[in-house]
């Protein structure tokens, strides 16, 4: 077993543990946006799809690179766009403050209100 492989496996296992820790505390309200967010993160496969291009010099290689790039780009761009769209709704309705405060402050107030609702 090569050193590179051991390194890769170490990273993999640690990332798995981090993933479990990071997700375990998310409130149910955010599960759908969270699933969507995780969904867009696996769009990183676009980096892998692009790297095919380094060695692709045959028709089969080009076809695979094209389809992979198409698929992965749809995943990453669509994923982030749709997550953003969902979260935007959360904020708009979460800030029913009648007094128009500056944007950052309003976001903070909304956050507090949501916290108090949950507790």
Partner 1 sequence: MSSFTTNMQLVYVLAAACFVVGLHLMNSPATARRGNQVSTAGMVIALIATLVLLIHAGSVTAVGWTVLIIGALLGSAAGLWSARTVQMTAMPQLVSMFNAVGGGAAALVAVYGYIHDESAPGGVLGSTSVFTVLDVIIGSVTFTGSLIAAGKLQGLLTGSPVLIKGGRAINLALIVVALGSAAFMLTTASLPALLLVVLASLAFGVLMVLPIGGADMPVVISLLNAFTGTAVAMAGFVIQNWALIVAGALVGASGGILTKLMADAMNRSLANIMLGGFGTGDTAVAAVVSGDVPIRSIAADDAAIQLAYASKVIIVPGYGLAAAQAQHGVAELAKLLEDRGIEVSYAIHPVAGRMPGHMNVLLAEANVPYPQLKEMDEINPEFPRADVALVIGANDVTNPAARRPGTAISGMPILDVDQAQSIIVVKRSMGTGYAGIDNELYANPKTSMYFADAKKAVAEMTAAVKTLVG
Scanning 24-58, the segments in alpha helix (DSSP H) are 31-41, 45-55
Question: CB of 20 within 8 A of CB of 38?
Answer: no
Residue 39 touches partner 1, criterion: CB under 8 A: yes
- Per CB under 8 A, contacts with partner 1 among 7-26 are 8, 11-13, 15-20, 22-26
Q: Does 106 bind partner 1 (CB under 8 A)?
A: no
Instruction: Please list, residue by residue across 28-39, b when 16 or more beta carbons sit within 10 angstroms of its beta carbon and e when fewer do.
Output: eeeeebbebbeb
Using the minimum distance from each CB to partner 1, give the nearer residue, 29 or 101.
Answer: 29
Is 73 a residue that touches partner 1 (CB under 8 A)? yes
Between 70 and 101, whose beta carbon lies closer to partner 1?
70
Does position 47 bind partner 1 by CB under 8 A?
A: yes
């Amino acid at each position: 077993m090569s050193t590179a492989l051991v390194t890769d496996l170490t990273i993999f296992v640690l990332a798995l543990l981090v993933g479990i820790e990071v997700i375990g505390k998310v409130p149910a309200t955010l599960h759908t946006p969270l699933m969507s967010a995780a969904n867009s993160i696996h769009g990183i496969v676009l980096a892998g799809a692009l790297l095919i291009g380094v060695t692709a010099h045959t028709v089969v290689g080009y076809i695979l690179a094209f389809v992979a790039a198409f698929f992965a780009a749809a995943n990453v761009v669509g994923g982030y766009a749709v997550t953003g769209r969902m979260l935007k709704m959360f904020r708009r309705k979460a800030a029913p403050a009648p007094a128009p405060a500056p944007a950052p402050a309003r976001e903070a107030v909304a956050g507090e209100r949501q916290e108090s609702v949950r507790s």
